[in-house]
Amino acid sequence: MKSRRHRKTASPNGGGAAGDIGRVPAGTPAPKITASSGSFASTRADVAVCFALEGDKAPALRGVPAGSALIRTLSLLMRQERFRGKRKEVLLWHAAGRHPSARYAVVGLGARADLTLETIREGVGIATRRAVAVRARKAVFVLPPLTLPEGVEGLAEAATEGIALGSYRMSKYLTGEEQTPLSLKGAEILFGPDALKAAHRGVARGKIRALATNLVRDLVNEPALTLTPLRMAEVAREVAGQRGLEIKVLEKKELEKLGMGALLGVSAGSAQPPCLIHMIYRPTGVKGAIPKIALVGKGLTFDSGGLSIKTASSMETMKLDKAGASAVLGVMSALDRLKPAIEVHGIMGMTENMPSGSAIRPGDILRTMSGKTIEVLNTDAEGRLVLADALAYAQAQKVDRIIDLATLTGACMVALGPVVTGVFGNNQEMVEQFLTASSRAGEKMWQLPLYEEYSEQLRSDVADIKNTPTSRYGGAITAGLFLKSFVNGKTPWIHLDLAGPAYLESEQGYMRKGATGATVRTLLTYIEELAD
């Protein structure tokens, strides 16, 4: 991945061998989340959470009379604190025994006209983070009476995701009091009795999607010291065993037999052997032809830039460069429970990019699995080299469509900022379906073009293509065009550049600083809709 800009931070203390630190978790556990038809006014919790829209004088409490003592109290507090119900605004009050719950929180959802499932997910997630901050063990949520196209099931799913994503915390490497495990043990979402059946379905789906996302956050947050390419393969085998998936791991000798010179070239400078992980989900009990899709992830467990070495500050978070492959693994971990009627191939190209006497050099030429040759001008543009071979392998599986995902370019962050995924593709219908899925999943994505005029910048005098363009402008587009040249034009294909949203430099809504699991929920939504 080309360098992204970072603030300088102090180096962490400590050290030690990988064996001293412990195994990679299979997903940080979330609190137990349930749906019930209890009364908010009489519920007993450490934090009881309700919501207000912008301009409301009182919180919207289903089943609580307008003149009740609780509503009068919360309305008075809203006036006193000048709470306006703006999006992300939070009022937290300690009841001191005057009402059944220990604390009450009112969370603003913003204007009614702008209300979406993402607003609900965000509001619930922010409240969850506040509950965790005050070391609550139980939180109760009552959603406002809303009519959204997704119905009760969609509301319950979004709220569940907000709780599970908002409560995430990686603490395995902390010591002392900071190592204390998650205090929030239970979270209850209140619905009317007639809505409980749909709410239970939504909670179940929300748990699956959020836990898959949190697994990705664990993997991306894991240091390169412990999560090497072959250790990632072990985690994938564990997931496959638990979820009934097929898996094969191609190690160095098999990669050599397949002619994956680009992936092997990137790995040449590292002491850690590379591998390619191939997981397969096949639905059971489905008759007739079904779609086949490949998800192809870039898996750089660490990216130093190779001989085109990055600055020290730009390397500080380069464990994030495995976010694409981690997202593929997260998606695969959820499919056996969601059961879409579609065959999914999860393909992860895993390696490190390190400088050494055996590393590839600027000017070297690599021969890929497809036979096409690449002139390497910048060894820090390594992700596209790994994907070139992984895309060729994906096409050999005779799939109907391909989505690749990678923390690929700092240029995409310049274009779209740190919270938006860049979307490129060779099939507009597929791109539009995917963007619709991203909107439903609440993940920000934007299509960027693949103008063929820019391909001239990748023309090499000594090979079929070079890995970096002659101009620094339009870097995300030229990277997409490079990948497009390795895709059969008949196969619908999308490229996702998630260099920005894969890893946050500061807290955003229900996401903590660090790994986000970006694209997992969108990919799951797209796969289910494609199956339907």
Q: Give catalytic residues, as residue numbers.
A: 310, 384
Query: Distance of CA 417 to CAs 4, 93, 413, 500, Å?
Result: 11, 36, 5, 7
CA dihedral sign, ordered 500, 505, 508, 514: positive
Any idea which residue has 């190209």 for tokens? 349
Q: Are 73 and 160 spatial neighbours (Cβ–Cβ below 8 Å)?
A: no
Q: Are 424 and 482 spatial neighbours (Cβ–Cβ below 8 Å)?
A: no
Q: Report which secondary-structure segment, H or E, holds 374.
A: strand 373-375
Q: Are 411 and 500 spatial neighbours (Cβ–Cβ below 8 Å)?
A: no
What contacts 23, CB < 8 A, 6 or more positions away?
none
Q: Where are the alpha helices (DSSP H) in 316-452?
A: 323-338, 383-395, 410-416, 428-441
Any idea which residue has 């660090």 for tokens? 514
* CA neighbor of 531 nearest in space, from 219, 293, 266: 293
Instruction: Phi first, then psi: give them for residue 81, nearest 5 degrees.
Output: -90, 5
**CA atoms in the 13 A half-sphere facing the CB of 81:** 20
- The angle subtended at Cα 304 by Cα 459 and Cα 254, nearest 5°, is 70
Q: Are 349 and 298 spatial neighbours (Cβ–Cβ below 8 Å)?
A: yes
* CA neighbor of 408 nearest in space, from 522, 322, 327: 322
Token output for 93: 């009050």
Token output for 280: 């397969």
